[in-house]
Amino acid sequence: MDNKIDIKNIPVEVYKPDPDKKAKYNPRDRIYVRAVKGLHQTLRRNIGFVFMAAFMLLPWLQFNGQQAILLDIVEQRFYIFGLTLWPQDFTILAWIFVIAAFALFFVTTFYGRVWCGYLCPQTVWTFIFMWFEEKFQGTRNQRMKLDQEPWSFNKLWRKGLTHFSWLAFSVLTALIFVGYFTPVDQLFIQFFTFETSFWAAVSVWFFAFCTYGNAGWMREIMCTHICPYARFQSAMFDKDTFTVTYDAKRGENRGPRARKDTDYKAKGLGDCIDCNLCVHVCPTGIDIRNGLQYECINCGACIDACDDTMDKMGYAKGLISYTTEHSLEGKTTKVIRGKLVGYFMVLVAVCAAFAWTLVVRKPVVMDIVRDRGALFRETDEGLIENTYTLKVINKSQLEQTYRLSVEGLDDAQWIGEKELTVKGGETANLPISLSLDPVDAKRPVLEIEFVLQDSDEPDVRLTQGSKFFSAR
């Protein structure tokens, strides 16, 4: 009885909302991002420009007289330069996604969310849209002032041109994206002449709407609320991961001071002058001085802003920098560590498996389909005849000629063509028959193999097993 827990009589208060009182819920405030120059932003813009140019130009490249990269979903064929992928080659696509996943894990463990800050399409397109904003509406302060003003002709044309440029760039993006799945040259002509197909037009406007909404309106919401990467990234972080970090020991206590004030440390102040520029330039609107946050995309904008302020104040750079938690604690950063090595080894193994899959991949596929009407038939000459259909898929992009033969029936008579020419990326069916004297049939069912040999490439040789049924 001594272990009995006394039950306390806790009064329950019932909350009754006041209908006359307005809710204190604060809707999402718009983030006005300030433009900043510096090493990291120059690097981000250059990387973004290279990958943007690649995205825009790749569909226009030609290879062997056709579009170099064409992912034809309707025909179930993916053309990637000289490589043609069929549904049978799904493992190759699977390897590509696995490589991308482990590469992301490796980079995140080493340098945080640099993918998000430098290469993610959401970030690249968002910064492009903010560039349009700045050109038509002005700087951060000018945009804030413009939004507070009543509607006027000046506000109307600035807002109108901004949204027009957003929509135009979204349509261009959508056309290029859809151009990866349908001939891009025809798509552009047919789209602007209103002759495109229904589904192509729907796809273009759908992706245009998504681009316009994501990069123009949603922006950081995609990163903070929708993208799952922001949520599970912490599982890959450790104390040796390089992330954008504020040095609180050096910066605190923060506070304003005169530029010529050299005695600020005696006043208990740190190097942070509390200018809030690191907040103004952040595309997700966070304050990096509050510590590591899942909203941070490691774009380095706050680093460039802070370094510029430190330069003006005559302080050392690096108050905000790419560093590790161990480094801030005065400990040695372990760049090479077990988790990082593990990710790297798995990445190498997956890349090797992918390369091996490409090496052993045959540029041709052959399927054998037997006559379903009868296992065999007896000819007028007293021979036993089996009928087959050879289905040959030329997975290359060049016309090929193949020689066909059979093994396991030395005395059999081949009825039909023994050579087959198939265009690049096409499928051909060849009906043939095999006739055999019943005397030579040693068993009721004989194991045979059809052989396909490329006339131009002796190394390309396929064998496909089948059966020959006799009357015995």
The pLDDT of residue 23 is: 47
| Residue 172, H or E segment | helix 153-178
Tokens describing residue 315: 């302080």
Q: How far apart are CA 350 and CA 463, in angstroms?
A: 29
The answer, as to whether pTM is greater than 0.85, is no
Give the rounded percent of residues in the chain with a pLDDT score beyond 90. 60
CA atoms within 13 A on the CB side of 390: 33
Is 90 exceeded by the pLDDT of residue 310? yes
Burial of 45 (0-12, 13-18, 19+ CB in 10 A): middle
At residue 25 the predicted structure's pLDDT band, cuts being 50, 70 and 90, is very low
Structural domains in the chain, CATH included, are 238-328 (no CATH), 364-469 (2.60.40.10)
The rounded mean pLDDT for the chain is 88
Mean pLDDT of 319-328: 92
Percent of the chain as helix, strand, coil, to the nearest 5: 45, 20, 40
458 or 55, greater pLDDT? 55
Q: What is the pLDDT of residue 110?
A: 92
Q: What is the pLDDT of residues 337-394, one digit of tens each?
A: 999 999 999 999 999 999 998 888 888 889 999 887 788 888 888 889 999 999 999 8
| Backbone φ/ψ region at 49: left (φ over 0), alpha (ψ -120 to 50), beta | alpha
- Residue 109: pLDDT band (50, 70, 90) is very high
Question: Which pLDDT belongs to residue 358?
Answer: 87
In this prediction, residues 235-252 reach a mean pLDDT of 91
CA–CA distance, 443 with 468 (Å, rounded to integer): 10
| b/e code 50-79 from CB counts within 10 Å (16+ = b) | eebeeeeeebeeeeeeebebbebeeeebbb
pLDDT digits (tens, 9 = 90+) for 83-93: 888 887 888 88
pLDDT of 18 above 80: no
- Name residue 464's beta-bridge partners: 450
> What are the residues whose beta carbons fall under 8 Å from the beta carbon of 415, sequence distance 6 or more?
385, 432, 433, 434, 435
Q: Quote the DSSP letter at residue 314.
A: T
pLDDT tens readout for residues 412-452: 899 999 999 998 888 899 999 999 888 888 888 888 999 99
Residues with Cβ within 8 Å of 191's Cβ and at least 6 positions away in sequence, in order, are 175, 200, 201, 204
Backbone angles phi, psi at 122, to 5 degrees: -60, -45
Per-residue model confidence (pLDDT) at position 26: 45
Residue % of the chain over a pLDDT of 70: 93
Cis ω before 154 (30° cut-off from 0) = no
Q: How far apart are CA 180 and CA 1, in angstroms?
A: 77
Q: Read off the pLDDT of residues 388-417 as tens digits, 9 standing for 90 and up.
A: 999 999 888 888 999 999 998 888 899 999
Which residues, other chains included, contact 393 with Cβ-Cβ below 8 Å and sequence gap of 6+?
A: 86, 364, 365, 366, 367, 422, 426, 427
